[in-house]
Structure 1
Amino acid sequence: MKNLSITISISAIFCFLTACNSNTDTSASTQVEQTKPLNVLYIMTDDHAAHAVGVYEGRFAKLNPTPNIDKLADEGMVFTNTFVTNSICTPSRASILTGQYSQTNGVLDLRGSISTENQHLPTLMSNAGYQTAIIGKWHLKKEPGAFDYYQVLEGQGTYFDPTFRIQGENVWPKNEVQYKGYSSDVVTDISIDWLKNKKNNKPFFLMHQFKAPHDMFEYAPRYEDYLAAETIPEPTDLYGVKATFGSIATRGVNDKLIKNIGTSVSKRHNRRSMGIDLGVDPSLPEEEFTRQAYQKYVKAYLRCVKGVDDNIARLLQTLKDIGEYDNTIIIYTSDQGMMLGEHDFQDKRWMYEESIRMPFIVKDPRMTTQGQKSDLLVNNTDFAPLILDLVGIKVPEYMHGKSFAPALQGKTPNNWRTASYYRYWTHRAYHDVPAHFGLRTKDYKLIFFYGANFMTKPFPFYDKKWVAKTGLHNSAINTPAAWELYDLRKDPTEQNNVYSNPEYSKVVDELKIELKRQRKLYNETDKQYPHLQKIIDKHWND
């Protein structure tokens, strides 16, 4: 099929692939031309792991947790290899808005913020004639001023009776209004009201962003009976990991760090246990405590997911009611994954699979690949380029990510990545996860835990009790440096670190070459952190 060129204006013919984007393979185009500009509805949850979405066929699939998201998937395409580049809320959202890795956009951790001039995605959409809005979780500190309209949760937001900051209601950050009700319902109510009462006929770009299912997993009372009679399937290593899992970086020499690294579902971790947080009786025997903690944890989590799924049905029905469903690109994703008991870990942050894998589903009315899955290696720096490309806007060179629009036609984009770079900067704070970086290919995962804070004077997080008890701040305590390699073809649940296996020496060498290349390419080196570079140099060839 021949290439099509697009003039960027709302009166132009919006084609499925555009030749004006140098980052995109334009060898294919859809057979259907769109004479009306397409809207974009971007739906994002917080911490919704891909394996907790039915269509991803994880261990929860038989519980049917997401029938409405699965229905959307039947009408679109499911991307099974989508990964976050920094698995924590604020940095992930910054990468999605900017198309850039953390060190370039400046958001390394939860303290980060994005000012209006750097909110690239909504700015570009607005400049191309779109009416832009963000409703729900924001978590990027500064005003979302690049959007034409916003109602965003204050900070992390609360599950019940949430407070929003509303455009036009006083000056940021004093523009606060409190709503009654459950967060997922309220966010959806606001988006529905905005969709029904838009003041112009421009195409819209709406970022609808739930708080759920972020901890502490407070669900609406109507879901109390949901899953009550079910026994939630457990991960294979909930009650103790194999000796072949991890390294001295994550276990310590002779397992001396087992009780200090990675907050747990069980009573293993000495500072934070999900079971304790959720009120499970700590006097129970270890195995029974863990069993009850896991069941309570995941049921609460999936009840929050159920609230999201039901509200997505309401949102999509609104598009149908106002006659825009068949003229809207719909994307469903989350800001990262979530550890749901795997390796006896809770939360995210890790480069392990359940933490970094993101659900990503796209429905485009011009698609010819409905109901199919793609294993293209995608990360969240690619989201903005994809959205821009799908509506005919040239992807700027300052974005690290690339559009993968050809995948929606069953084709592989030209010169596509073979490995996705990852880095978690926030050493040991919150959930005692050591700082690390690495690469994820389709077949392998290479991780280097350098185990030190990028700040020479760590800032205080909320582990005040630990500081009071020990006189030390966790994030100031270095952990051993070590490498881990997982063969995902043979070991998809990452039970066996094969880094020291001589059979994998060539794989290790090749991955390290690519790791070094991507760190330089994406401005992720440690030139400004010489104390970290010293650790990296010392252990690079271990």
Structure 2
Amino acid sequence: MKKLKFLTVLTCILFFAGKTQANTDPEKPSKKKPRNVIFILTDDHRYDYMGFTGKVPWLETPNMDRLASEGAYLPNTFVTTSLCSPSRASILTGQFSHSHTIVDNQAPNPGNLTFFPEYLEKAGYQTGFFGKWHMGDHGDEPQPGFTHWESFVGQGVYYNPTLNIDGKRTTYTDSTYITDLLTEHAVDWLDKRDKKKPFFMYLSHKAVHAGFQPARRHKGRYKGNTIALPSTYGQTLTGEYRDLKWPEWVANQRVSWHGVDYMYHGFNDLNEMVVDYCETLLGVDESIGTVMDYLKKEGLDDSTLVIYMGDNGFSWGEHGLIDKRHFYEESVKVPLLVRCPDLFEGGKTPKQMVQNIDIGPTVLAEAGVKQPDNMPGVSFIPILTGDTTAKSRDAIFYEYYWEYDFPMTPTVFGMRTDKYKYIKYQGIWDRNELYDLENDPDEMYNLIADPDKQDIAKSMATDIYDWLEETGGMQIPLKRTVKYRFGDFKHEGEY
């Protein structure tokens, strides 16, 4: 167990790498020339649903494929919490959920958070935000750190949206499609920017969040297509989960809002939903192409750092589940595509683990702005440039807090290395999980009860507690609840 003990110490060192490299004055620019950056974020896009991965043979994403071939695809990219608001808050603050406290889709901004674009703006950047903000209970009002703002309330709608543009709301009609509208406005902002200043653009799509609605030009493109069901799809149905030692809650959730037998409380067809999902994704792929075409036209395509990412993953039948929240690979992994020919050669597929808390440190580093002390992440650019002296992580940590609106998934704490994944549940009478990812990448065989794996489980559990204790996460954040929703029933008041 000496190797695991060493991993424990090394993980803590790497976790605080951002602190050791940071300057206490993050607003003070360094001598590095500021780089233009475009960050494109999508909703619920799982890491392998892109044409070049081959996961879905009939799915075509030529512009995502181009980002991967001319840049890099990082297949081991994870979120710290697989849920919209907590993940988006982690991206913008560079902090874990228990630190920024936006632990679910209703928890409010505590009012003391600093978003990394604020540092860019103070360093002279033009900063533009376009699309879905959805951070806790916040509406569509302009947020600090952005010189230009366009957003909508909550999840928004796919057709005929209302945008708050720098404080003034405009409603669009005539079947205006949100993905196209945001892209058009984003490129228009780029075109009208002050050419003498560096820019950071945050294009945040609603797509591909349920219920999926593709652009009219894409509707029916994949009609009748099917996917290969995952190896763990039918295990809970047969009761075999007991032999595999899966938790009871996984089997129970199969017939629920987030289970394949009662998806979103309806008897939906899985393949039809996947088709809608993939057709909706086509609009996002075209959006990427529009942005890249503009950069090429302006001669900025080689020097601009373009980052494409999802806010969380999505399960399509793995373990009998759909959607997100859990710590299985399909839920916690997200696509990360990065392109900047001036920085690194294309065609890279590095295996190192990256997290959403690394976005802020990466952008700040390329802007020549020092990383603040409260961001534990690290820039992933050294991974792409081949800098072997730069720090990278040997483990990632995960947290998800039980929600009143969706009580089917318990509170989860987890740790993942290249070899093992340990999942620890809180407040539920059930078993934890341990998977050997090298020999069981589908996470089918839970080894938590194996006698020869007890030291590994104990060591990883200790690492989780050390991580929480050292980062102020030993108390589960609670929020005042004024609405409880279960299924189709809604009741006002606290329960």
TM-score of the pair, normalised by structure 2: 0.84
Q: How many residues align?
A: 444
The answer to whether the 8 Å contact 2:313/2:332 transfers is yes
Distance of 1:130 and 1:152 partners within structure 2 = 20
The answer to whether the 8 Å contact 1:116/1:146 transfers is no
Instruction: Encode CA deviations 1:322-355: one digit per residue, 9 max, x unaligned.
Output: 3322221000001010011212211111101100
Alignment match, 2:426: 450
Alignment match, 1:331: 307
Alignment match, 2:261: 266
Alignment match, 2:272: 296
Instruction: Encode CA deviations 1:113-159: one digit per residue, 9 max, x unaligned.
Output: 44786242111111111100100111121631321111012211101
Q: Does residue 161 of the first structure (1) align with residue 160 of the second (2)?
A: yes
Alignment match, 1:474: none
Cα gap change, 1:221/1:415 in structure 2, threshold over 3 Å: closer, same or farther?
Answer: closer
The answer to whether the 8 Å contact 1:263/1:345 transfers is yes
Distance of 2:35 and 2:192 partners within structure 1 = 18
Cα gap change, 1:295/1:502 in structure 2, threshold over 3 Å: closer, same or farther?
Answer: same
SS in 2 for 1:118: coil
Cα gap change, 1:328/1:115 in structure 2, threshold over 3 Å: closer, same or farther?
Answer: farther
Distance of 2:123 and 2:358 partners within structure 1 = 19
Alignment counterpart, residue 59 of structure 1, candidates 36, 55, 77: 55
Q: Does residue 50 of the first structure (1) align with residue 47 of the second (2)?
A: yes
Alignment match, 1:482: 431
Deviates more, 1:150-159 or 1:422-431: 422-431
Alignment counterpart, residue 376 of structure 2, candidates 382, 392, 400: 400
SS in 1 for 2:21: coil
Cα gap change, 1:138/1:528 in structure 2, threshold over 3 Å: closer, same or farther?
Answer: closer
Question: Structure 2 stretches of 5 or more lacking a match?
Answer: 1-17, 23-30, 479-495
Determine which structure has more spread, i.e. the larger CA radius of gyration: 1
Give 1:483's aligned amino acid: N
- CA RMSD across the alignment: 2.5
Q: Give, in angstroms, the shift of residue 233 of structure 1.
A: 2.4
Q: Does residue 347 of the first structure (1) align with residue 323 of the second (2)?
A: yes
Alignment counterpart, residue 520 of structure 1, candidates 469, 473, 478: 469
Cα gap change, 1:87/1:414 in structure 2, threshold over 3 Å: closer, same or farther?
Answer: same
Distance of 2:332 and 2:476 partners within structure 1 = 26
SS in 2 for 1:486: strand
The answer to whether the 8 Å contact 1:331/1:361 transfers is yes
Distance of 1:193 and 1:380 partners within structure 2 = 28
Distance of 1:391 and 1:436 partners within structure 2 = 35
Q: Does residue 182 of the first structure (1) align with residue 177 of the second (2)?
A: yes
Give 2:216's aligned amino acid: P
The answer to whether the 8 Å contact 2:130/2:182 transfers is yes
The answer to whether the 8 Å contact 1:248/1:480 transfers is no
SS in 1 for 2:99: helix
Q: Give, in angstroms, the shift of residue 522 of structure 1.
A: 2.3
Alignment match, 1:250: 249
Report 1:344-493 matches (<5 A).
Answer: 344-412=320-388, 414-427=390-403, 429-430=405-406, 432-451=408-427, 479-493=428-442
Give 1:196's aligned amino acid: D
The answer to whether the 8 Å contact 2:79/2:332 transfers is yes
Alignment counterpart, residue 313 of structure 1, candidates 272, 282, 289: 289
Deviates more, 1:502-511 or 1:441-450: 502-511
Instruction: Encode CA deviations 1:375-400: one digit per residue, 9 max, x unaligned.
Output: 11111111100111122211111112
The answer to whether the 8 Å contact 2:413/2:464 transfers is no
Q: Does residue 230 of the first structure (1) align with residue 225 of the second (2)?
A: yes
Alignment match, 2:487: none
Distance of 1:400 and 1:439 partners within structure 2 = 16
SS in 2 for 1:491: coil
Alignment match, 2:120: 125
Cα gap change, 1:201/1:159 in structure 2, threshold over 3 Å: closer, same or farther?
Answer: same
Instruction: Encode CA deviations 1:171-223: one digit per residue, 9 max, x unaligned.
Output: xxxx4544551111111111111111124521110000110000000111211
The answer to whether the 8 Å contact 2:155/2:206 transfers is yes
The answer to whether the 8 Å contact 2:118/2:144 transfers is no
Alignment match, 1:152: 151
Cα gap change, 1:187/1:496 in structure 2, threshold over 3 Å: closer, same or farther?
Answer: same
Give 2:457's aligned amino acid: V
Distance of 2:346 and 2:357 partners within structure 1 = 24
Distance of 2:190 and 2:442 partners within structure 1 = 42
Cα gap change, 1:205/1:429 in structure 2, threshold over 3 Å: closer, same or farther?
Answer: same
Q: Give, in angstroms, the shift of residue 230 of structure 1.
A: 2.7
Distance of 1:527 and 1:225 partners within structure 2 = 45
Give 1:433's aligned amino acid: T
Alignment match, 1:41: 38
Cα gap change, 1:248/1:233 in structure 2, threshold over 3 Å: closer, same or farther?
Answer: closer
Alignment match, 1:218: 213
Q: Give, in angstroms, the shift of residue 51 of structure 1.
A: 1.5
Alignment match, 2:21: 23
The answer to whether the 8 Å contact 2:160/2:171 transfers is no
Alignment match, 1:506: 455
Distance of 2:284 and 2:405 partners within structure 1 = 29
Name the % identity.
33
Give 2:51's aligned amino acid: G
Instruction: Encode CA deviations 1:407-454: one digit per residue, 9 max, x unaligned.
Output: 111234645332111111134633721111111111111011114xxx
Report 1:73-152 matches (<5 A).
Answer: 73-114=68-109, 118-140=113-135, 141=138, 143=141, 144-152=143-151
Give 1:521's aligned amino acid: E
Q: Which gives a bigger RCO, structure 1 or 2 (Cα 8 Å, sep 6+)?
A: 2
Cα gap change, 1:430/1:319 in structure 2, threshold over 3 Å: closer, same or farther?
Answer: same
Distance of 1:99 and 1:434 partners within structure 2 = 25
Instruction: Encode CA deviations 1:452-511: one digit per residue, 9 max, x unaligned.
Output: xxxxxxxxxxxxxxxxxxxxxxxxxxx424311111111111111111011212211221
Deviates more, 1:210-219 or 1:222-231: 222-231
Give 2:316's aligned amino acid: L
Q: Give, in angstroms, the shift of residue 248 of structure 1.
A: 3.7
Question: Structure 1 stretches of 5 or more lacking a match?
Answer: 1-19, 25-33, 170-174, 281-292, 452-478, 530-542
Cα gap change, 1:261/1:246 in structure 2, threshold over 3 Å: closer, same or farther?
Answer: farther
